[in-house]
């Protein structure tokens, strides 16, 4: 066993090194991992935020896509990185909350293996039906599903993802008769939806969705938000349509490996919040139908804890099966 004085000396050296490192941070480029393919919401927002944060930090942020296994690849890479502030990750409810709940073999524990830095924004969804469905309000659609049991299908990017859970919550709250069809990607689900092979989807009102609405191919019935969406001003919220909030809130945030020094977390959080408030970010957020959220690291940590508790209970209540 080491003598007490030596242990104390080693501890002080480690502490001083960490403080010195934080004071000189950053001194080189920062790798920003995005756990999805290019073009997704997190990718677009991260690439828009990166140069603005770089102005504040004095070093470039290099966005690096590490997709695979529903975001697990990118998050595992970050969790295993050195907690020095030079590797951060953009993650959200699917990667940080739902993956561990539905996939017990997920190689990270979100609440133990990451240091929250701050939220980027909330991802807003709406419910759409194909034009073949004779329903123009949410109430009419729910009645339609009950009148056609087993014949109304909705798609998602996979079991346990937010679009799937939104459908299951709609069934729970309203008794709607819906059958889930999981796909290996959102683009495949959208293709079948636009073609009428499935009849309903939850999705953000993206440019593609808005084009389909404009042509009359699909019809929006309700928005999952506390107020009407700017790009769907005539579409009621679920509450306005008479349905209790479904509780599915998509969000994205930034985190680093566990053990990230507080000074570095504070520096990154400050840069993130300042950048997300810049006028240059209005169009990227609108394009991805995200609402910017500026938060403390503690608020992001609380969001993770609260959503994990809520969905842990709901997975059991809904009888949803976990992956092996």
**How is residue 169 written in tokens?**
């919550």
Sort 255 into a burial class: Cβ within 10 Å, 0-12 / 13-18 / 19+: buried
Q: Residues 183, 159: contact at Cβ < 8 Å? A: no
Spell out the domains of the chain, with CATH numbers in brackets. Answer: 29-121+249-318 (3.40.190.150), 125-224 (3.40.190.10)
pLDDT at 10: 43
pTM over 0.85: no
Q: What are phi and psi of 140, to 5 degrees?
A: -65, -40
* Strand duo 87-92 + 250-257: pairing: antiparallel
Residues 219-265 pLDDT 10s: 999 998 888 888 899 999 999 999 987 767 789 999 999 999 999 99
- Asked whether the predicted pLDDT for residue 318 surpasses 50, the reply is yes
Residue 68 pLDDT grade (very low, low, confident, very high; cuts 50, 70, 90): confident
Buried b (16+ CB within 10 A) or exposed e, 14-28: eeeebeebbeebbee
Residue 235: Cβ within 10 Å count: 22
**How is residue 135 written in tokens?**
């329903």
**How is residue 308 written in tokens?**
């994990």
pLDDT at 138: 97
Residues 195-216 pLDDT 10s: 999 999 999 888 889 999 999 9
Sequence-separated contacts (24+) of 172-175 with Cβ below 8 Å? 172/317, 172/318, 173/243, 173/244, 173/246, 174/142, 174/243, 175/142, 175/146
């Amino acid at each position: 066993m080491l003598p007490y004085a030596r242990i104390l000396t080693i501890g002080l050296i480690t502490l001083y090194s960490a403080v010195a490192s934080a004071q000189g941070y950053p001194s080189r480029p920062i790798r920003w991992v995005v756990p999805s393919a290019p073009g997704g919401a997190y990718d677009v927002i991260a690439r828009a935020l990166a140069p603005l944060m770089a102005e504040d930090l004095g070093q470039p942020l290099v966005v690096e896509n590490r997709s695979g296994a529903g975001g697990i690849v990118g998050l595992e890479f970050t969790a295993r990185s050195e907690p020095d502030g030079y590797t951060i990750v953009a993650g959200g409810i699917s990667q940080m909350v739902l993956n561990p709940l539905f996939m017990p073999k997920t190689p990270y524990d979100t609440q133990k293996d990451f240091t929250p830095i701050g939220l980027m924004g909330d991802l807003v969804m709406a419910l759409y039906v194909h034009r073949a469905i004779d329903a123009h309000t949410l109430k009419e659609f729910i009645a339609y599903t009950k009148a056609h049991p087993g014949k109304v299908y909705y798609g998602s990017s996979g079991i346990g993802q937010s679009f799937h859970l939104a459908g299951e919550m709609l069934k729970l709250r309203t008794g709607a008769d819906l059958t889930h069809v999981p796909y290996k990607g959102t683009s495949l689900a959208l293709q079948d939806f636009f073609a009428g092979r499935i009849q309903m989807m939850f999705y953000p009102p993206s440019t593609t969705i808005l084009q389909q609405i404009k042509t009359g191919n699909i019809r929006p019935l309700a928005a999952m938000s506390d107020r009407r969406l700017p790009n769907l001003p005539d579409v009621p919220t679920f509450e306005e349509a008479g349905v209790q909030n479904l509780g599915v809130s998509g969000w994205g945030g930034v985190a680093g490996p566990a053990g990230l020094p507080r000074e570095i977390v504070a520096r990154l959080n400050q840069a993130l919040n300042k950048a997300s408030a810049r006028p240059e970010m209005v169009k990227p957020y609108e394009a991805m139908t995200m609402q910017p959220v500026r938060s403390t690291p503690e608020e992001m940590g609380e969001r993770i804890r609260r959503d994990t508790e809520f969905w842990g209970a709901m997975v059991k209540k809904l009888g949803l099966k976990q992956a092996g």
